Amino acid sequence: MLRPPRPPRGLSDLAVAIWLVATSWLPFLDVTGDPQDPGQVARGADLVLVVLDPYLTGEARRELAESET
């Protein structure tokens, strides 16, 4: 479902980027004063997909599109 990152980046770099977005999103909302409602949580999940997007295979993109309908 994922293409590996091209050197010099590696899977550990991708994992760290995802971890940073996922663990920092709710604290970011606290700092900005935005609510931690379901819509904002979903936006955080979308941001994780932004990080993953360059590495998704065609199959992964199709499955994501199907899950959104």
pLDDT (tens digit, 9 = 90+) per residue, 28-48?
Answer: 999 999 999 999 999 999 999
% of the chain surpassing 90 pLDDT: 86
What residues make up the domain containing 20?
11-67
The answer as to whether 53 is a domain residue is yes
pTM above 0.85, yes or no: no
The answer as to whether 5 is a domain residue is no
The answer as to whether 4 is a domain residue is no
The answer as to whether 36 is a domain residue is yes
Number of domain units in the chain:
1
Q: Can you spell out the DSSP letters for 1-50?
A: -BPPPPTT--HHHHHHHHHHHHHHHHHHHHHHT----HHHHHHHHHHHHH
The answer as to whether 59 is a domain residue is yes
